[in-house]
Chains A and B, each alone.
Chain A
Amino acid sequence: MTKTTLPSKPVKAKNKIHIGGYAFDTVNIIFLTLCCVIVLMPFIRVIAISLSSSRMIDRGAVSLWPLEFNFKGYEIVFGNVTIYRAYGWTLLYSVMFTVTTVSMTACLAYPLSVNDFILKKPISVLLLITMFFSGGTVPAYLLIKNLGLMNTAWALVLPGAVGAWNTFLYRSFFKGISHEIREAALIDGAGDLRILIKIILPLSKALIATFSLFAIVGMWNSYFAAMLYIKDSTRQPIQNILRSIVYTSVSATFGDAGMAMTQGTVNPLNVQYACLIATIAPLLFIYPFIQKYFESGMQVGAVKG
C-alpha cells in the first residue's frame, strides 16, 4: 500500500493518518452497516408487532411496519400503576449495585495487577473457585435470611458484588496501563492508595464506564434474586412486575378442575413486546451518557503522547 496524499473524507481523527484507506474503509463500513441491518431488523419487527392489531399479527402480515395501529399492549403495561414504583426501586437497586461492585472490584483487582503482590496467587485461586462452585439456592437463601437482609436492597446488591470474572478483567485492564507508571510513582514516593486513586482510576474511565454499564444492565434485567428475597410486593423491581403482566396476559391453566382460558381480546404478543420496549427504553436512554467515556482513554493517551 502506498501513502495517500489525498485526505480521506472523515479526517477528523487527529492521531491517525489513513493509509490505503479507501478500499479498507469502504469494506469495513459496508461490513458494519450490514451488521447493523441484521441486528436491527428483528428489533424493528418487535416494535412493529407491539403496535399492530391482533388480527394482523395472527395473519403473519406484520413485517417491519405496524399494521392497523394499536396501543393496547402499551396501555396494559403503562396503565398498571405499580410499574412506576417498580422503575424507582429498580433505579435504586441498580445504582447501589453499580457503586458497590465497581468500587469493590477495583479495590481487589488493583493489588492483583501488581506483579510481585504476595497474595496474588491465593486470592486468584479463591476467586477462580467461586466461578465454578456454588452452594446452591437453599444455603444462599438461608444466609440472606440469617443475616437479616430479607426484603432489603442489600440482598440484591451484596451477593454478586465481587465476581471473579469481572475482577480478572479489571486486572487485565490495569495491567494494560503502562507498567512503568506504578514503578515511577513509587519512586516518586507515592503510596499504592494514592496511585490507585490519583493515577490508575483516572486512566480507567473507559473501564469504569464499561463495567458500570454492565452492572446497571445486569441489575436492571435480573429478576431471580428479587423473586426470592423481596417478599414485599411494593418493592419489586421492574422485571418482576413485567413478568407478571406478561404471564397473566398469555394464559393460565389451573388445577385439576383444569380450566384454561385466554384473557380478553389483547394479543399476548402486543403485551409481551410492549414489555420488552418498556425494559429497554430507559437503558437506551442512559447509554449515550456512558458511551461518552468510552473514548476518554484515547484522549488521555493523546495527552501522554
Chain B
Amino acid sequence: MTQAVNTVLLGRNRVNPVARFFKLLWKQRTLVGLCVLPMALLFVFSYGPMYGVLIAFKKYDAGLGVWDSRWVGFNNLVEFFTNVNCLKIILQTLKVGIFSLIFTYPMPIILALSLNEVASKGFKRTVQSISYIPHFISIVVICTMLNEFGSLSGLFNSIRKLFGAAPVNMNNGTKYFMFYYIGSAIWQGAGWGSIIYLSALSNVDTSLYDVANIDGANRFQKIRHVALPAILPTTTMVLILNSGNILSQDYTKILLLQNNTNRTDLDVISTYVYTMGIADGRFDYGTAVNLLVSVVSLILVLTTNTIVRAIDPEQSIW
C-alpha cells in the first residue's frame, strides 16, 4: 500500500524532488507539527551542550572555556592507546559486554512469556510485583550482599556444600567476577525488563489465541506463533539498542566489585574513564575516550540494524 503511494508520487513528480518534498511535508503537516515541541526540547537540551565533545581534541583550559582552549588533535586518544594496559582494558570490556548481552538479554523475555501463560491473575500480579523489587535496591547494597554471600561462610558456599563442593573465597581474584556481575544484573533487571514485553503482550489480539485453539495448537506452539510475533518489534528494538551498550558498563558496580586482589585485572573502559576523567579531573581525556566509545557504539547499533533490516525490513529502526 505504502509502496503503491510512493510509486504514484514518484511518477508524478519526477521533475522536481525538492518541490515533491515540500508538497509531502505540507501534506503531513499534522505529523510534522506533532514533532516540533519534542524536537525543540531535544535540540536545546541534548544538542545544546553537545559542543562540549570538542574538548576531546583540546587541552581543556577552564579559564578559556571549551571554545578557546588549545587544539591538540588526537593527542588524548594517542595517550589512551599508548597506555600500557590499553589492550587489557579493551579485551576485558568486550568480554564483560558480550557476555552480559548474551545472558541478560533473554531473561526478561522468558520471564514475560512465562508470566503471560499464567492463568491466575492474582498469582501473576504477585509474581510481577515481587520481580520488580530488586530494581529499586541500590547497587551499593547489592555489592555489599554479594561480598557477604561469596565469603567462605556465606550463602553461596552453603549452597556449594549441599552439592559436596569445597568452599572457596569467591571474592578473591577474578574467577567469580562474571558470575557476580551478570548474575546480579539478571537478578536486578529481569523483572523490571519484562514490564516492557508484558505491556506489548497485553496488546495481543486475543482472537489469535482463539484461532490457535481451534487449530489444536499446544502451549509451545501458541507461544511461538502468537506471543512471540506480538513482541517481536519490541525484542528487536531492545536488541538493537542493547548492542550499542557492549562497550559501556556500569562503572560504579564494577568499582564496587573490585578489591585489592583483582583491581588491576578488572578495569574496563568505563572505570578507566571514571578514574582518569572524573576522579582525576581530566575532562578532556575522559571526553576523548568516551567519544571513541560512542563512535564504536553507534557503529555497532547501525550494523545490528542493517542485519535486522536484511532479515526483516519491517523491524529495523529505519
Q: Do A and B assemble together?
A: yes
Measured CB to CB, the residues of A under 8 A from B are 1, 3, 8, 10-13, 15-21, 24-25, 28-29, 31-33, 35-36, 38-40, 42-43, 45-46, 60, 104-105, 107-108, 110-111, 114-121, 123-136, 138-140, 142-143, 147, 158-162, 165, 167-169, 172-173, 175-178, 183, 191-193, 196, 203, 206-207, 209-210, 213-214, 217, 221, 272-273, 276, 279-280, 283-284, 287-288, 291, 294-298, 300-302, 304-305
Contact A291 B127 (CB under 8 A): no
User: CA–CA, A135 to B50, complex, Å?
Assistant: 4
User: CA–CA, A28 to B112, complex, Å?
Assistant: 12
24 CB < 8 A contacts A-B:
A18-B119, A25-B118, A28-B118, A35-B131, A36-B126, A38-B187, A42-B145, A108-B34, A127-B42, A130-B46, A132-B297, A136-B283, A139-B48, A139-B66, A161-B38, A165-B241, A168-B317, A175-B233, A191-B30, A210-B199, A214-B195, A273-B141, A280-B137, A301-B207
User: Hey, which chain B residues are within 8 Å of A42, CB to CB?
Assistant: 134, 137, 145
Find the B residue at minimum CB distance from A13: B119
User: Hey, which chain B residues are within 8 Å of A168, CB to CB?
Assistant: 237, 241, 317
The stretch from B20-28, B70-78, B264-272 touching chain A is B20-28
User: Hey, which chain B residues are within 8 Å of A196, CB to CB?
Assistant: 34
Closest 4 A-B residue pairs measured CB to CB? A135-B52, A135-B49, A139-B49, A297-B202
With contact pairs A3-B216, A124-B318, A287-B132 given, residues A8 and B2 touching in the complex (Cβ less than 8 Å): no
User: Hey, which chain A residues are within 8 Å of B55, CB to CB?
Assistant: 136
Interface assignment of B37: CB less than 8 Å from any CB of chain A: yes
Contact string, B209-230, partner A, CB cutoff 8 A, digits 1/0?
1100100111100000000001
Contact B210 A294 (CB under 8 A): no
Interface assignment of B136: CB less than 8 Å from any CB of chain A: yes
Interface assignment of B92: CB less than 8 Å from any CB of chain A: no
User: Hey, which chain A residues are within 8 Å of B41, CB to CB?
Assistant: 104, 158, 161-162
Contact B34 A107 (CB under 8 A): yes
Interchain CB contact (< 8 A) of A210 among B133, B196, B244: B196
Contact B234 A294 (CB under 8 A): no
Measured CB to CB, the residues of B under 8 A from A are 1-2, 5-6, 21, 24-25, 28, 30-32, 34-35, 37-39, 41-42, 44-53, 55, 66, 111, 114-115, 117-121, 123, 125-138, 141, 145, 153, 187, 190-191, 195-196, 198-200, 202-207, 209-210, 213, 216-219, 230, 233-234, 236-238, 241, 244, 283, 287, 291, 294-295, 297-298, 301, 317-318
Q: B299 CB to closest chain A CB, in angstroms? A: 10
